[in-house]
Amino acid sequence: MNEKSETDKILNDIRTYLRTSAAVASRNIASKVFDTQEKAQVFEKLSEGASQAKIEAVTGIPNQTISRWINEFVEAGLVTPPNEYSNSYRALFTLRELAINTSELTKRTKKQQVETKAQTTDESEKAIKGEVSK
Listed as own residue / partner, the contacts of 115-122 with beta carbons closer than 8 Å and 24 or more positions apart are: 116/62, 116/65, 117/62, 119/68, 120/62, 120/64, 120/65, 120/68
The answer to the question of residue 16 being in a domain is yes
Question: What does the pLDDT look like over 32-50, one tens digit per residue?
Answer: 999 999 999 999 999 998 9
Domain that holds residue 25: 7-129
Hey, which residues does 106 pair with through a beta bridge?
A: 36
pLDDT for the residue 66: 96
The answer to the question of residue 60 being in a domain is yes
The answer to the question of residue 103 being in a domain is yes
Residues of the chain with pLDDT under 70: 1-2, 110-134
Question: What is the model's pTM?
Answer: 0.74
The number of folded domains in the chain is 1
The answer to the question of residue 88 being in a domain is yes
The answer to the question of residue 67 being in a domain is yes
Q: Which CATH number characterizes residue 119's domain?
A: 1.10.10
The answer to the question of residue 134 being in a domain is no
The answer to the question of residue 86 being in a domain is yes
